[in-house]
């Protein structure tokens, strides 16, 4: 299991997984996951630049201007790169959903949560009986 998969499994409750097993990531900020991808995936930026940038030529121009100190070009370039990184993360999550990993992890989390809640309820009931 990769570091990203481990992180997602441990934090599955923070994702909204649809009934068919795909994540709804529309308003989700994957900062931690992108940091993991940046360290773990040797081809992260290559994938982002090759497959997830909408207008590579515009990015190239803006990066060139950014190097020369153009703040607006810097902002545009970083925005394009951020959207590309988010798109790549969405792709990775969809791939996990296709393999039904997300549903499995969500089900495991639900089972563990239910067991924990039942144990807490039993403890509370025992404490109440002692009073």
pLDDT tens across 15-34, in order?
Answer: 999 989 999 998 899 999 99
Indicate whether 21 belongs to any domain.
no
Confirm whether 22 is domain-assigned.
no
112 & 126 share domain: yes
**Host domain of residue 107:** 100-131
pTM of the model: 0.83
Q: What single DSSP character describes residue 68?
A: T
- Kindly state whether residue 110 falls inside one of the protein's structural domains: yes
Residue 17: alpha-carbon gap to chain centroid: 12
Residues 89 and 112 in one domain: no
pLDDT value at 6 more than 90: yes
Residue with tokens 């039993």, as numbered in its chain: 122
Q: How far is CA 116 from the centre of its chain?
A: 26
**What secondary structure letter does DSSP report for 21?**
S
pLDDT classification of 118: cutoffs 50, 70, 90:
confident
Has residue 60 been placed in a domain?
yes
pLDDT in tens, 60-116: 999 999 999 999 999 999 999 999 999 999 999 999 999 999 999 999 999 998 888
Instruction: Give 23's strand partners.
Output: 17
Q: Are residues 51 and 6 in the same domain?
A: yes
**Confidence check: pLDDT of 12 > 80:** yes
- Indicate whether 122 and 92 sit together in one domain: no
Asked whether residue 127 carries a pLDDT value surpassing 90, the answer given is no
pLDDT for position 80: 97
| Number of domains comprising the chain | 2
Residues 94, 68 share a domain? yes
Q: Are residues 32 and 83 in the same domain?
A: yes
* Tens-digit pLDDT profile for residues 78-93: 999 999 999 999 999 9
Q: Are residues 104 and 84 in the same domain?
A: no
């Amino acid at each position: 299991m990769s570091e990203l998969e481990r992180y997602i499994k441990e934090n599955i409750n923070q994702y909204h997984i649809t009934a068919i097993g795909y994540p709804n990531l529309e308003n989700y900020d994957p900062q931690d996951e992108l940091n993991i991808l940046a360290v773990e995936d040797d081809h992260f930026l290559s994938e982002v630049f090759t497959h997830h940038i909408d207008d590579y030529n515009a990015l190239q121009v803006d990066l060139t201007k950014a190097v020369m100190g153009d703040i607006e070009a810097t902002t545009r370039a970083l925005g394009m790169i951020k959207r590309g990184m988010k798109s790549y993360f969405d792709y990775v999550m969809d791939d996990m959903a296709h393999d039904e990993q997300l549903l499995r992890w969500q089900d495991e989390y639900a089972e563990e949560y239910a067991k924990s809640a039942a144990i807490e309820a039993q403890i509370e009931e025992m404490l109440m009986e002692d009073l």
